[in-house]
Amino acid sequence: MPRATKKSEENTEEQQTNLIYDHIAEYIVQKFIKEDVNAFTESTLMHELLAYKLKEIGKPLMMDVIASVASELKAKKQLDLKKKVGGITQVKKISFRSDDQYNAFVSLFFEAIEERPEEIDFIKKEQDFENFMLYCINDFRELWDQFVAKIVEDRLAIERQKGLHAYRSSKTEVLQEVPTYADFIAERIDKVKVQA
């Protein structure tokens, strides 16, 4: 049996990392479509843009979320997952459209934790760690939900201003003047920050 070379191991790791960001991008695109069905026409472009940009900013943002949740846990001594999101099942199953999306968020959490293990040294019980992880995943997910909601709100406001909310098909020239969702993403994604 041939031995795996270092290069093939790196390629496999790179493919796995790409899959993580692909699934997170898929989650965000689906959120756009849920907020505004007209976003569907841009879904492929938005997905490619998001997956590309998430490779740069995804892990640092998750690390910021972990630091924020860790300081909240140290201050309060307890995180109330039920109060925040309705419990473990809510975070695991209801918030995501597929297991792949959920697993991508979990994988990113663990990649970020590997970078800063000192952030969680104080967590001793397994159940506390799981709650902490789910809390972080939920906060990271909400960060993107808010990102999407704000962009959709701003884009629809421009459309209403230009009278495009009705009879879109007959106003293609005016529609071309409105920034696309991909334009909004490109302009704003580097400014996404964890609120302290």
Distance in angstroms (rounded) separating the CA atoms of residues 109 and 4? 27
Q: What is the pTM of this model?
A: 0.84
pLDDT band at 84 (very low <50, low <70, confident <90, very high): low
**Model confidence over 141-157: pLDDT tens digits?**
999 999 999 999 999 99
- Check pLDDT > 60 for residue 184: yes
pLDDT given for residue 144 in this prediction: 96
| CA-to-CA dists, residue 66 to 7, 62, 120, 138, 154, angstroms | 32, 6, 9, 11, 29
Question: Do residues 85 and 138 make contact, with C-beta atoms less than 8 angstroms apart?
Answer: yes
Going by the DSSP 8-state scheme, the letter that residue 5 receives in this structure is P
Mean pLDDT of 7-27: 78
Say whether pLDDT at 12 is over 90: no
